[in-house]
């Protein structure tokens, strides 16, 4: 499959590489892997929870890098000096 989109191409290449690594490590393809629906759902949930932590770390690092974080108050983030074109999806 070809695509003119370089980002999509990179993702496709990474997926193929990961699939090949999985076949070497586990000795089978994802298609051949036998798990129950609940096992697949729980595995996906665990992966997404890890991803949420990675995202939080990167978001915090970016705000610290740009000196946008004033303070953390539980779930709230107080932000100062936002440009008119910037947005933050959290609670302000």
Alpha-carbon distance of 69 to 81, in angstroms, equals 10
The CA angle 31-23-7, to the nearest 5 degrees, is 80
The predicted pLDDT at position 68 comes to 60
* Tens digit of each residue's pLDDT (9 = 90 or more) over 21-49: 999 999 999 999 999 999 999 999 999 99
In degrees to the nearest 10, what's the CA dihedral of 18, 22, 24, 28? Answer: -130
Q: Is the pLDDT of residue 12 over 60?
A: yes
For residues 5-29, give the mean pLDDT.
Answer: 96
CB 76 within 8 A of CB 61: no
List pLDDT tens digits, range 46-83: 999 999 999 999 988 888 887 665 555 565 555 554 45
């Amino acid at each position: 499959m070809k695509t003119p989109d370089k980002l999509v191409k990179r993702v496709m290449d990474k997926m193929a590489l990961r699939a090949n690594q999985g076949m070497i490590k586990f000795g089978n393809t994802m298609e051949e892997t036998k798990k129950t629906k609940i096992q697949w759902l729980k595995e996906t949930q665990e992966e997404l929870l890890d991803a949420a932590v990675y995202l939080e770390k990167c978001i915090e690092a970016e705000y610290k890098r740009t000196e946008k974080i004033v303070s953390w108050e539980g779930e709230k983030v107080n932000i100062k000096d936002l440009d008119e074109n910037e947005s933050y999806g959290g609670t302000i």
